[in-house]
Amino acid sequence: MDNEIINIPEPVLRRLVRYHYYLLKQVETGSLMISSTSIADHLNLDSVLVRKDLQYTGLVGRPKTGWVTEELLKAIESTLGWNNFNDVFLVGAGRLGSTLLHYGGFKNYGFNFVAAFDVNPEVVGTEINGIKILHTDKLVNLAERMHIHIGVLTVPAENAQVAANLLVEGGIKAIWNFAPIQIDVTKDVIVVNAQMTQEIAILANKLSGLLKAKLES
Amino acid sequence: MDNEIINIPEPVLRRLVRYHYYLLKQVETGSLMISSTSIADHLNLDSVLVRKDLQYTGLVGRPKTGWVTEELLKAIESTLGWNNFNDVFLVGAGRLGSTLLHYGGFKNYGFNFVAAFDVNPEVVGTEINGIKILHTDKLVNLAERMHIHIGVLTVPAENAQVAANLLVEGGIKAIWNFAPIQIDVTKDVIVVNAQMTQEIAILANKLSGLLKAKLES
DNA sequence: TAGATTGTTAATCGATTAACAATC
DNA sequence: TAGATTGTTAATCGATTAACAATC
């Protein structure tokens, strides 16, 4: 009833993902306890910031010792919703789509691909990594029947809006859009765009700052 | 000498990318002039924020009319450094790597793939989208000779650190890392991680907020 | 106990929004 | 001119950092 997964600020979410990754490595190396100071040191952050962020998990640390590493890892997973599966549809089983299907790692983040869709007769009917590729005709009906909430969009830009409409028609509530185009959806549907171009812009800006600093020194 | 591409805050960079995309569409539809209010309306932002952001381009708008659409587009491109090519090496010509090579769109963002590297004898010597795949042995020497500054890392997690070391040894200054692992580099090298897991976390958090809001209403 | 680390309250910093004069 | 839109200065908001008491 009192679900805690609510409205966590984006910067905090991004850092929780980084803590998760670091803790995973620490658990593997046999670390039993972990402190905010050690996390902060490794990720180049302030330890107070780490403690503030970790409060979103609801877990309380022990002075002098910190947190039980594995407990904290689980708490972060639960806060991020990575401990229960979300069934996911993928639309567009081309190069990028099949790359995502082949990569099994998304399961660790609660993303469970249950079916993929395409119109290309060469791929419809085949399987990628155990996931069936079906014709897009079947999407709306199946999404409704299976109560799918999440769709991943990996179609070419020119087909993205049509594909998005199908997802929405099928009752999908959130779309992860890899098509290099802004898609229009009704207000009650969430769109998260894959932000490769933004990452390129950030990289280029940092690089030019670095090169300039070097010139001046 | 007085290069303007310096130290723009990340949120501003991310929005400049969105303005760029919107302006591109507007130019295509024949729009000659554009105002901060119309940009703000379409992207669900405050118009003052848009004007503040656009000041980073150095361009001044005209009261009552706004900016010349195409001029503003060019100014944003120049601010983001998208008007001149950066030669880029890609390491790891597997599924993801070849998907990126096939996608020609990165050229529009100043990313020019000049060579790719792998160790798999089946791909070394072949070409993808006109880009030669060479053996990783050749990376360091070629990077030095060609003065490459940017590397894209699309190798499996277990090879990522070794590949990153090669890039750094070759004098590369910035790495766009798609491997699901944190790579260690010397302080003077920039690493921008592809943040798919962060995007998943943001999507899941927004979705659970939405579903909860619906439950309560 | 002493020391390390937590969690909290206050201060600072940076980014966004509000108010408004300037201008085409 | 009147109205729309710009750019600037001040106010607000949110996120980060600093200071410090609480605790194991």
pLDDT in tens, B101-140: 999 899 999 999 999 999 999 999 999 999 999 999 999 9
pLDDT, one tens digit per residue, over A133-142 is 999 999 999 9
Averaged over A102-125, what is the pLDDT?
Answer: 96
Sorting pLDDT into bands at 50, 70 and 90, what band is A6? low
Distance CA A69, CA A50 (A): 14
Q: Which of B10, B99, B201 lies closest to A96 in CB terms?
A: B99
User: Could you tell me if B202 lies within 8 Å of chain A, comparing CB atoms?
Assistant: yes
Distance CA A194, CA A196 (A): 6
- Residue A172: DSSP 8-state: -
Model pLDDT, residue A211 = 85
Distance CA B149, CA A206 (A): 12
pLDDT, one tens digit per residue, over A24-83 is 999 999 999 999 999 999 999 999 999 999 999 999 999 999 999 999 999 999 999 999
* CA separation, residue A39 to residues A12, A21, B41 (Å): 14, 11, 41
Model pLDDT, residue B214 = 79
Model pLDDT, residue A32 = 95
The C-alpha torsion from A121 through A124 and A128 to A131, rounded to 10°, is 170
User: Could you tell me if B210 lies within 8 Å of chain A, comparing CB atoms?
Assistant: yes
Sorting pLDDT into bands at 50, 70 and 90, what band is A177? very high
- φ/ψ (deg, to 5) at A179: -70, 140
User: Could you tell me if A2 lies within 8 Å of chain B, comparing CB atoms?
Assistant: no
Averaged over A7-18, what is the pLDDT?
Answer: 95
Distance CA B45, CA B59 (A): 20
Model pLDDT, residue B6 = 67
Nearest-CA residue relative to C1' of C7: A51
Chunked in runs of 10, what are the mean pLDDT values of chain B (217 residues)? 64 96 95 96 95 96 95 96 94 97 94 97 97 98 98 96 98 96 92 94 93 79
Do residue A203 and residue B196 have CB atoms under 8 angstroms apart?
no
Q: Which of residues 68-127 of B touch A (CB under 8 A)?
A: 80-82, 86, 95-96, 98-99, 102-103, 105-106, 109-111
Model pLDDT, residue B2 = 38
Q: Are B119 and A116 in contact (CB under 8 A)?
A: no
Q: Round the average pLDDT of chain A to a whole number and report it.
A: 94
CA–C1' gap, B53 and C20, in angstroms: 20
Classified as helix, coil or strand, A10 is: helix
Query: B87-115 burial by CB neighbour count: b if 16+ within 10 A, else e?
Result: ebbbbbbebbbbbbbeeeebeebbbebeb
Distance CA B182, CA A142 (A): 38
Model pLDDT, residue B216 = 77
Percentage of chain A with pLDDT > 90?
A: 88
Percentage of chain A with pLDDT > 70?
A: 97
Model pLDDT, residue B132 = 98
- Residue A119's nearest CA partner among A145, A79, A61, A158 is A158
User: Could you tell me if B200 lies within 8 Å of chain A, comparing CB atoms?
Assistant: yes
